[in-house]
Amino acid sequence: MERIRKHHLFWPVLVLVALLVFNLLYDPDFFRIQVRDGKLYGNLIDILFFGSPLALVAIGMTLVIATRGIDLSVGSVVAISAAIACFTISKGADQNDPGLVATAILLALAASALLGLWNGFLVTRVGIQPIVATLILMVTGRGIAQLITSGQIITVISPNYKVIGAGTLLWLPVSVYIAALVFALAALLTRKTALGLFIESVGCNPTASRLAGIRSVTVRLFAYLFCGFCAGLAGIILSSNVSSADGNNAGLWYELDAILAVVIGGTSLNGGRFFLTGTLLGVLIIQTLTTTIYSTGVPPEVNLVVKALVVLAVCLIQSEGFRRTLARSLVSVRPSHQRVEGKVTTRG
Amino acid sequence: MARFAIKKQHVPIIASTALLILIFAAGSLRYTGFFSLQVLLNLLIDNAFLLIVAVGMTFVILSGGIDLSVGSVIALTTMLSAALIEQAGWPPAVVIPLVLALGTSMGAGMGAIIHYYRIQPFIVTLAGMFLARGLCFVISINAITIKDPFYVTMAQTRVPIPGGNFISISVIIALAVLAAAIWLAHFTRFGRCVYAIGGNEYSALLMGLPVGRTKVLIYAFSGFCSALAGVVFTFYMLSGYGLHALGLELDTIAAVVIGGTLLTGGVGYVFGTFLGVMLQGIIQTIISFEGTLSSWWTKIVIGVLLLLFILLQRLLSSRGEVREA
C-alpha cells in the first residue's frame, strides 16, 4: 500500500478515477458508447478526441519542462501553423488536391519546428531564460498569424484536409491515432534510448551535464524543436477540424492548459524529472473535467472556476507542506508528542 | 571619463527614454497634429490602468515571481462593480472599497499559497486567473453598462492643466500610484526586502529578512493594483464585462521588461515600468495615426521591442560577468 501511495502516478490516477466515479454515480450514460456508420460515439470518445491536440502540445511541453525550461509560445505556434496550412490550401486552384494538402501540412510543420528551434536558439545560444525567450514569440506569434491570414478567418473547403481533424479510422478519430503515435515516439525516444536520461540530466544541472560530456545545447535545442513541432501538429488538427484558421483565437490558452497537464502529471517545473504517462493523465483529467461540466448541465462558463479549484487542489495535494498541515489538523484532536506527530505525517 | 560613465543598471532606462523621444520625434515629423502635449497626455489617459497594474507587477517580478491573474482581476472588478451598482443598487462609496479589498485579499491569498506551500507562482496565479475570469461569467455572461452618475462624472471630468491641455482623474490616480510605488521600492524597508528576495531568496532568509511576510505583501499589493486598475478601467469603459482586459497580463509583463526589470528578479526600477507603458502606448498611437497599418502590427512591434530589450540586458549582464572575471 505504501509503495502504491508513493508511486508518482498515484495522485493523478486518483483524481481521474474520482472524476469518472462521480460521472458513474451522476449519470451512468456517461460511459455509453454507440457505433454509428462505423464510428464510435460517446463521452469517452469525445474526451479522447478533444484531448488529442492538447495531448500533443503537452507531450512537447513535458520534454521542454524536463530540461528546466518552459515554452509559453505553443498557443501562438498553434495559430501560426493553422494559418500557414489554411493559407496555402486556400491559394490552391483545387483545394482538395492531395499534393497541395501534403505541401500545406509540411510547410506548416516545418515552420513550427523552425519556430521551436528559434526558441531553443534564444535559450541555449543567447542565454535568455526560457520564460522570457518564449514570451517574445507568444506576443509576436499571434500578430504573425494574423498577418498571414490578413486578420480574416480563412475557411478552406478540402475534404482531404478535413480528414486529419475530423476523419475516422477503425472506429476512432484520426487525431487520436496521431496523438498516440507521437506519444509512442516520444516514449520510445526518451525511455529506450539515452535521450531521456540526457534530458533529465540537463534539467538537473546543465553545467555538470556538459562537463560529463553531454551536449546539453543540442539536447535542449531538440526539446524546443520537438515542442514546436508538436504544437504545429496540434494546430493542423484544430484547424482541420473546423476547416478554418483564426489567427486570434486558435490555440488560445493552450500554453496554460498544456503546462497544467504537465504539472498535474507530476513533472516538476524545476526540471530534471518527467513523466510522459503522467502528462497524458493530466490531459485526460482536464478534458474529462470539461466534458463532465458540459454533460452535467452546469453552465459552461463555470468551467473556469471549477478548473481553478481543481488546479489548486491538485497542486496543494502534491505540496509536501500542505499535506503536513492537513495531517497535523487531522491529528491535532489527540494531544501528541512532536515525534509521534512526525510519524503520523509520513503515514498519511 | 568617470563623469560620463553611465551606470550599467541605468542603460535600459536610458535606452527606453531615448527610444521614446525618438519615436515621438519621428511621429511629429511624419504626422501633422502629432507634436503636441495633448498627444503625450492622451498616452497617459488611455494607459492609466495599464500603468497601475504594471506598477504592481514590477514588485512581483522584482521579487522573482510572476502574476498571471492581473487581467482577470481587472475583469472581475469591472464586473462586480457593474453588478453591485447597476443591479443591486449599492452606492459607489461602498462598492469601490469593497472591490479593492477583494483584489487585495485575492492577491494575499495567492501569495500565502505560493510561500507557505511552495507552489510555483506561475501555477498559483494561473489558477487565480481562471478563478477570477470564471467568477465574472458566474455573475453574468453579458456586459453590464454602468450609468451611475458618479462613474460617469469620473469618466468625463477633464482636469485642465496650464496650456489648455487636460488629463483625466484616472491619470491622477495612476501617477499617485506610481509616486507611491517609487517611494515604496526605493525608500522603505519593504522595498529593500523585495530586492533582496529577488536577488537571492535563501540569502534574504539567512539575513533574517521577513521573507514570508514580504512575499504575501507583494502579491497583495499586486492584487490591490489590479483591483484599482479595474476601478480605473471601469471609469474608462463604463461597463463590466467578463472579457475585459483579456491578455492584459502579457502587455503588463512586456511593459515591465521593456522598462528594464529583469524577469529573474532583483534588478529594475519602478520608473522604468512607466517608460515601458509609455512606449507601448506610443507604438499604438503611431499605428493608429498611420491608418493603413492593422492592429496586429502592434503585437509584432512590441514583440520585436521585447526581443531587443532582452538582448540588450543580456549583452550588459554578460559584459559585466567578463569584467568581473
CB contact under 8 A, B123 and A311: yes
Please give the ipTM for the structure prediction: 0.76
What does the alpha-carbon distance between residue A270 and residue A283 come to, in Å, rounded to a whole number?
A: 20
**Does residue A162 surpass a pLDDT of 60?**
yes
What is the pLDDT, as a whole number, of residue A99?
Answer: 86
| Segment A301-337, tens digit of pLDDT | 777 788 788 778 877 877 777 878 888 877 765 444 4
Portion of chain B with pLDDT greater than 90, in percent: 40
| Cβ neighbours for A81, distance < 8 A, ≥ 6 positions apart | A108, A109, A111, A112, A231, A232, A233, A234, A235, A236, A239
**Does residue B3 surpass a pLDDT of 70?**
no
Chain B contact present for A298, CB below 8 A: no
What is the pLDDT, as a whole number, of residue B95?
Answer: 93
What is the pLDDT, as a whole number, of residue A243?
Answer: 80
CB contact under 8 A, A307 and B134: yes
What is the pLDDT, as a whole number, of residue B76?
Answer: 94
Confidence category of residue B323, pLDDT binned at 50, 70, 90:
very low
Chain-wide mean pLDDT for chain B? Answer: 87
Query: Considering CB atoms only, which of A143, A247, A306 is closest to B297?
Result: A143
| Segment A145-161, tens digit of pLDDT | 988 888 788 888 878 88
User: How far B198 CA lies from chain A's nearest CA (Å)?
Assistant: 15
pLDDT top residue among B75 and B155: B75
Closest to B70 measured CA to CA, from B82, B84, B86, B58: B58
What is the pLDDT, as a whole number, of residue A323?
Answer: 78
What is the pLDDT, as a whole number, of residue A58?
Answer: 94
At residue A245, what are phi and psi to the nearest 5 degrees? Answer: -125, 125
| Segment B29-50, tens digit of pLDDT | 888 777 788 888 888 998 999 9
At residue A38, what are phi and psi to the nearest 5 degrees? Answer: 65, 30
Cα angle for residues B93, B99, B102 (degrees, 5° grid): 140
Portion of chain A with pLDDT greater than 70, in percent: 94
At residue A72, what are phi and psi to the nearest 5 degrees? Answer: -85, -10
Chain A contact present for B183, CB below 8 A: no
Which chain B residues are closer than 8 Å to A257 by Cβ? none
**Does residue A338 surpass a pLDDT of 50?**
no
Q: Poorest-confidence range of A197-201, A299-303, B2-6?
A: B2-6
**pLDDT average, residue stretch B216-244:** 92
Tell me, which fold does domain A2-297 have in CATH?
A: ABC transporter involved in vitamin B12 uptake, BtuC (1.10.3470)
User: How far B37 CA lies from chain A's nearest CA (Å)?
Assistant: 30
CB contact under 8 A, B126 and A260: yes
Query: Considering CB atoms only, which of A128, A139, A256 is closest to B303?
Result: A139
What is the pLDDT, as a whole number, of residue B321?
Answer: 44
End-to-end alpha carbon distance in chain B: 23
| Cβ neighbours for B51, distance < 8 A, ≥ 6 positions apart | B44, B174, B177, B178, B273, B274, B277
Residues 133-152 of B with CB under 8 A from A: 133-135, 137-138, 141
Neighbouring C-beta atoms of residue B231, cutoff 10 Å: 26
Sign of CA dihedral A156, A161, A164, A167: positive
User: How far B288 CA lies from chain A's nearest CA (Å)?
Assistant: 16
Report H helices in A192-253: 195-204, 206-211, 216-242
Please give the helix or strand (H or E) that residue B166 lies within, else none: strand B165-168
Confidence category of residue B276, pLDDT binned at 50, 70, 90:
very high
What is the pLDDT, as a whole number, of residue A279?
Answer: 92
Query: Considering CB atoms only, which of B128, B300, B307 is closest to A147?
Result: B300
CB contact under 8 A, A139 and B302: yes
What is the pLDDT, as a whole number, of residue A332?
Answer: 62
Query: Considering CB atoms only, which of B126, B131, B306 is closest to A135?
Result: B306
What is the pLDDT, as a whole number, of residue B4?
Answer: 60
What is the pLDDT, as a whole number, of residue B8?
Answer: 73
Position of cell 520510445?
Answer: A188
Domains in chain B, start-ordered, CATH in brackets?
8-316 (1.10.3470)
Copy the grid coordinates of residue A190: 526518451
Chain A contact present for B253, CB below 8 A: yes
User: How far B72 CA lies from chain A's nearest CA (Å)?
Assistant: 11
Predicted model pTM = 0.83
